[in-house]
């Protein structure tokens, strides 16, 4: 068992919803990445994210950032507005 105590900020970040249409939390996305999902598509297949109402336009850039960080929880507020460059997963 992991005895590391999480800070309030870490707990809040883990509980933050990445895919709002399916209620998928950042912790679930990161767990999928840590278990080997190393692309946005693989994360979406593992968690069900990216297939809801936004069609990955809202959640995709955040998932991409989490994949690039190798599943490290993002503590700071993340941007959910979409730039054209963010849609090239």
Contact footprint for ligand FES (CB under 6 A): 19-22, 49-52, 54, 56, 58-59
Per the CB < 8 A criterion, the answer to whether 33 and 70 are in contact is yes
Nearest CB to ligand FES, comparing residues 2 and 39: 39
Nearest CB to ligand FES, comparing residues 26 and 49: 49
Nearest CB to ligand FES, comparing residues 46 and 54: 54
Q: Outline where the chain has alpha helix (H).
A: 8-15, 26-34, 40-47, 59-68
Find the shortest distance in angstroms from Cβ 19 to ligand FES.
4
End-to-end Cα separation, the chain, in angstroms: 34
């Amino acid at each position: 068992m992991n005895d590391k105590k999480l800070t309030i900020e870490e707990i809040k970040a883990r509980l933050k919803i990445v895919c709002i249409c399916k209620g998928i939390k950042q912790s679930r996305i990161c767990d999928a990445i840590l278990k080997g999902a190393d692309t946005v598509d693989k994360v979406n297949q593992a968690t069900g994210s990216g297939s809801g109402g936004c069609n990955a336009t809202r959640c995709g850039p955040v998932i991409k950032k989490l994949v690039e960080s190798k599943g490290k929880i993002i503590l700071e507020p993340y941007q959910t507005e979409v730039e054209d460059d963010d849609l090239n997963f």
